[in-house]
Chain A
Amino acid sequence: MKRKLLYRILLDLLLAALLMILLFPVVYMIISSFKSSGEIIMNRDFLPRKWTVENYVWILLKTNFGTYSVNSLYVAVVVTAITTTIAAMAGYALALYRNKSRFFGLFSKLLLLLQMFPGMLMVIPLYRSFSVMSMLNSRNTLIVLYGTFSLPFGIWLLSGFFEGFPKEVEESGRIDGCTKFQIFTRLVLPISSPGLASAAIFTFINAWNEYMIANIFIQSDMKKTLPLGLTNFILQFGSEWGNLMAASTITIIPVSIFLVFTQKYIVQGLTAGAVKG
Chain B
Amino acid sequence: MKNKKRKTDFFPYLMSLPAIAAISSVCLYPLLQGIYLSFTTTKLTSPDVMKFVGLNNFVRLLSDKSFWSALWFTIVYTFVSTIMAYLMGLAVALMMNREIRGKNIVRALLLIPWVVPAVVGTTSWTWMLNDQTGIVNNLLKQLGLIDKSILFLANPVMAKVTVIAFCVWKTFPFMALVILASLQSINAEYYDASKIDGAGALQRFFYITMPMIRRESLLAVVLMVMWNFNRMDFIYLMTQGGPVNSTRVMSIYSYYTAFFRGSIGYASTISVAMMVFMSGFLLLYFRIKKNEVDE
Please list the residues of chain A having a beta carbon within 8 angstroms of any beta carbon in chain B.
8, 11-12, 14-15, 18-19, 22-26, 28-29, 32, 40-41, 44, 46, 86-87, 89-90, 92-94, 96-97, 101, 104, 107, 110, 113-129, 131-132, 144-145, 147-149, 151-152, 155, 177, 179-181, 184, 205, 208-209, 211-212, 216, 226-227, 230-231, 234, 241, 244-245, 248, 251-252, 255-256, 258-260, 263-264, 266-267, 270-271, 274-275, 277
Contact B31 A122 (CB under 8 A): yes
Bound complex: CA A127 to CA B26 (Å) = 11
For A118, give its contact among B33, B48, B117, B275 (CB under 8 Å).
B275
In the assembled complex, the CB of B60 is this many whole angstroms from the nearest CB of chain A, namely 17
Other contacts beyond A19-B109, A216-B259, A252-B120: 16, CB < 8 A = A15-B92, A22-B110, A90-B20, A117-B31, A120-B268, A121-B268, A125-B29, A148-B27, A151-B23, A155-B19, A226-B117, A227-B119, A230-B119, A259-B112, A263-B111, A267-B107
CB-CB nearest in chain A for B259: A216
Does B39 lie at the interface of the complex (its beta carbon under 8 Å from any beta carbon of A)?
no
Given contact pairs A11-B95, A144-B26, A255 touches B116 in the complex (Cβ within 8 A): yes
Encoded as 1 (CB less than 8 Å from any A CB) or 0, chain B from 198 to 233 comes to 000000000000000001100110010011011111
Contact B23 A114 (CB under 8 A): yes
Binds A, one of B64-72, B152-160, B187-195, B250-258: B250-258
Contact A177 B1 (CB under 8 A): yes
CB-CB nearest in chain A for B96: A15
Does B108 lie at the interface of the complex (its beta carbon under 8 Å from any beta carbon of A)?
yes
Contact B124 A227 (CB under 8 A): no
Q: How large is the interface on B (under 10, 10 to 19, 20 to 34, 35 or more residues)?
A: 35 or more
Bound complex: CA A162 to CA B149 (Å) = 55
CB-CB nearest in chain B for A145: B26
Q: List 25 A-B contacts (CB under 8 A).
A: A18-B95, A26-B116, A28-B135, A29-B120, A44-B133, A89-B18, A92-B15, A101-B12, A124-B30, A125-B268, A126-B30, A148-B22, A151-B23, A180-B11, A208-B117, A209-B116, A209-B119, A211-B237, A212-B232, A241-B127, A245-B127, A270-B178, A274-B216, A275-B178, A275-B181
Contact A231 B27 (CB under 8 A): no
The tally of CB-CB contacts under 8 A between chains A and B is: 272
B181 contacts across to A, CB distance below 8 A: 267, 270-271, 275
Contact B18 A86 (CB under 8 A): yes
For A119, give its contact among B11, B19, B123, B230 (CB under 8 Å).
B230
6 smallest A-B Cβ distances: which pairs?
A: A90-B19, A271-B181, A93-B12, A209-B117, A121-B271, A148-B26
CB-CB nearest in chain A for B172: A22
Given contact pairs A124-B268, A211-B117, A275 touches B182 in the complex (Cβ within 8 A): yes
Contact A120 B47 (CB under 8 A): no
